[in-house]
Amino acid sequence: MTKTLATFTGRMLLVGCGNMAGAMLDRWLAAGLDPALVAIVDPFAKPREGIAHFAALADWLAAEQGAEWIMLGMKPQQLGEVADDLTPVLTGETHLLSILAGVSLADLALRFPAAKAQVRILPNLAARIGAGVSAFATLGDVDAAAVAGLLDPLGTVVALADDSTMDLITAFTGSGPAFVFRLIESYAAAGERLGLSSDDALKLAIATFGGSTALLADSGEKPGVLVAQVASKGGTTQAGLDVLDEGGQLAALLTNVLRAARDRGRELADIARGDG
């Protein structure tokens, strides 16, 4: 069934519209969101047809336009710069959405107590094509059906009981696409070093990763089951797996990658609160 926003109502203000917020907006527009309901406060935002674009928050405030939905999509360390100006336009009808890494629901509630609800969302870039992952948690008098309807067109949606694991999920799914892209890039580079042309190596790497993840998702099996279907004792696949699995080095490397990204999220939270 097509996930549509053609019946979505309520004005939306995007405070910041960089890569991630822009990907979400592009998908929402493709899903039928009326661009006349959207305003953007971001002097660097990519123009979107039919959307009112304001270079600065002061311009939007001067226009005296309300918004039932306000999404924070700038850098988390910029929260202090916009909080004071944004506070007067938040009302008991406003859902405050945030995709700011490291900024907790408690932080949002402290900064913007007048909002009807605070919704912390962790999307990823594949939302642009409706294949993303959006984990979210809420605080306050949230319209759960409306929030779910807004996130559904972006891809897989995971509702969390609270935001206690959000820093890890930021690293795991939010940063995850970049890690996967780097793995594909490195896989292609390895093929090129061993004799493939750069074009063939990248094309084959993309197809191999894409086909493998699609098969895994379609099969409903654990990854190890499919590993066993590809590998045979003493064969070529097992020879490569022996290198990957030696000393648990791959798992250790990925754990360190996620830990570094998670910890940086916590540092950004301290900066956003003015503690850093």
What domains sit in the chain, N to C, each tagged with a CATH number?
A: 12-165 (3.40.50.720), 176-266 (1.10.3730.10)
Beta bridge partners of 117: 95, 140
What is the predicted pLDDT for the residue at 271? Answer: 80
Question: Where would I find the beta strands (DSSP E) of the chain?
Answer: 12-15, 38-41, 52-54, 69-72, 95-98, 117-122, 132-140, 155-159
Q: How far apart are CA 124 and CA 214, in angstroms?
A: 18
Per residue, what are the HEC states of 174-225? Answer: HCHHHHHHHHHHHHHHHHHHCCCCHHHHHHHHHHHHHHHHHHHHHHCCCHHH
What is the predicted pLDDT for the residue at 98? Answer: 96
Tokens (6 digits) for 102: 């490291």
What is the predicted pLDDT for the residue at 45? Answer: 87
The tokens 């859902």 sit on which residue? 95
What is the predicted pLDDT for the residue at 60? Answer: 77
pTM over 0.95: no
Sequential pLDDT tens for the chain (276 residues): 458 899 888 899 999 999 999 999 999 999 999 999 999 998 888 888 899 888 877 777 777 667 899 999 998 888 888 888 888 888 889 999 999 988 999 999 999 999 999 999 999 999 999 999 999 999 999 998 899 899 999 999 999 999 999 989 999 999 999 999 999 999 999 999 999 999 999 999 999 999 999 999 999 999 999 999 999 999 999 999 999 999 999 999 999 999 999 999 888 878 877 765
Q: How far apart are CA 2 and CA 96, in angstroms?
A: 26
Q: How far apart are CA 265 and CA 276, in angstroms?
A: 12
One-letter identity of residue 196: L
